[in-house]
Structure formats: C-alpha cells, structure tokens
Amino acid sequence: MLWILLAVAGASRTAADDQVAIEQMARGNQSALGELYDRHGRLIYSLALRVLRDQGDAEDVVQEVFLQVWREAARFDLTRGNVVAWLVMVTRSRAIDRLRRRQARPQLAAKLEPDNRVDAGPRVDVQMEWQSRAAEVRRALETLPLLQRVAVELAFFDGLTHAEIAEQLEVPLGTVKTRVRQGLLKMRDCLAGAL
C-alpha cells in the first residue's frame, strides 16, 4: 500500500525543535509531547486516515503513536533518522496492524433478508472495468519512489494543495511541485505501457 515515510524534514529549525522535544520527553517533560503533537498531529492523523479510511480508528492510531513516542523517547536515535520520519514509520505500522486486525474479524451481515431495491449503480461490466483501471493506477503508484508517491497521494487522495503538502512535509513548495509532476509523468508512462 501507500506508505509514507517522510523524507527529509526540510526545515532544520523544526527538526532541531523536534529533537529537543524528544530529549525533554525522555526526561519526563509532558509539555514537550504536546509541542510535538501540535507540530505533527495533523500529518499523523491524515496518514492514519488514509490507511484506515475510518476517522475513529485514525484517531485511535494517533493516540497510540504519541503514547508510543512518549514511552520510547529515551531510545530515539537521531543517527537513524529524523523525528518526523520516526513518527510516520510508527503511524504506518500501527495503522496497518489495526487494518489487519479489522480485516481478520468476520463481518456481520447488515440484513438477514435480501435487498429488493433496484440497483441504480453502474452495470457489472462497467464496475469491473473501473476496478481494473483502479488496480492499474495503484500498481503505477507503487512504482514511484517514496518521496514522489507521498506527494502524489497527498495531492490526489487527500486533496491537499501544493502549499499544504509543502507545509506538512516541511519541504519547499518547488520541491513538492517537482515531486508531484515527476510522479505523474512516471505514472503516465507506466500506465501507457499497461494498455
């Protein structure tokens, strides 16, 4: 699936602030956790929501992520990556685990009686064609390098503007525009080869 390890946090000030917050959390400073949440909570929520497609589950994952970060702050190693990348990795892992648990549970039938309403939706052959095209798009998306895939997903699945993506990823606006454009061009080439 789509997965979002953010690249490099573009703003060194924010990365430094994140590092300070982690160090303070390791010493038990709860307000540092609040600062980290204020800076990155929206991003973490949107990533969890994209994986889970359920607001309640996404909110639960955000809580789990920041609880885990609080508990493991003392073990964070800056040499292995920045704080945002760590948050995203934990979010992805928690969201996928929750998704797998949800899919493992048997689904209860909504009704015991057959539904006698007339189906006004598209014909089955049209639905199958859409599913086939959607699968091709997902495969093309998965061929993109991570940074391009993240930018494309935020733009087209989350509906964010380039400026909003730049703010969330903490990278320059021009970088976001380049990643989206290059990603779309690669997807176009991949999809052209699939036809």
User: CATH code at 176?
Assistant: 1.10.10.10
**CA–CA–CA angle 147, 185, 87 (5° rounding):** 15
Domain boundary among 44, 73, 105: 105
Residues spanned by the domain of 157: 125-195
Average pLDDT over the chain, rounded to an integer: 79
| Of 134 and 21, the one with more pLDDT | 21
Clarify whether residues 14 and 89 are in a common domain: yes
Domain boundary among 53, 72, 105: 105
Is position 111 within any domain? Answer: no
Confidence of residue 4 (pLDDT cuts 50, 70, 90): very low
127: Cβ contacts below 8 Å, ≥ 6 apart: 121
Is position 181 within any domain? Answer: yes
Residue 82 pLDDT: 81
Is position 2 within any domain? Answer: no
The model's pTM: 0.52
Pairwise CA distance, residues 178 & 174, whole Å: 6
The domain tally of the chain equals 2
Clarify whether residues 146 and 62 are in a common domain: no
Pairwise CA distance, residues 187 & 189, whole Å: 5
Domain boundary among 74, 105, 136: 105
In the chain, the percentage of residues whose pLDDT exceeds 70 is 79
Clarify whether residues 100 and 133 are in a common domain: no
Conformation bin of residue 106: beta by default, left when phi > 0, alpha when psi is -120 to 50? beta
Pairwise CA distance, residues 96 & 138, whole Å: 17
| Of 10 and 106, the one with more pLDDT | 106
Look up the CATH number of the domain holding residue 83.
1.10.1740.10
Confidence of residue 2 (pLDDT cuts 50, 70, 90): very low
